[in-house]
Amino acid sequence: MADIRYTKDHEWIRLDGDTASVGISNYAQAQLGDIVYVELPAIGKRLGKGEEAAVVESVKAASEVYAPVGGEVIAVNGELEGKPGTVNEDAENTGWFLKLKVADAAELEDLMSEDQYKAFLDSIG
The dotted CATH code for 4-117 is 2.40.50.100
- 3-state SS, one letter per residue, for the chain: CCCEEECCCCEEEEEECCEEEEEECHHHHHHHCCEEEEECCCCCCEECCCCEEEEEEECCCEEEEECCCCEEEEEECCHHHHCCCHHHHCCCCCCCCEEEEECCHHHHHHCECHHHHHHHHHHHC
Show me where the domains of the chain are located: 4-117
Q: How would residue 1 be classed by pLDDT, with cut points 50, 70 and 90?
A: very low
- What predicted TM-score, i.e. pTM, was given to this entire model? 0.95
Q: What value does the mean pLDDT take over residues 105-120?
A: 96
* 52: pLDDT strictly greater than 60: yes
pLDDT tens, residue by residue, 68-108: 999 999 999 999 999 999 999 999 999 999 999 999 999 99
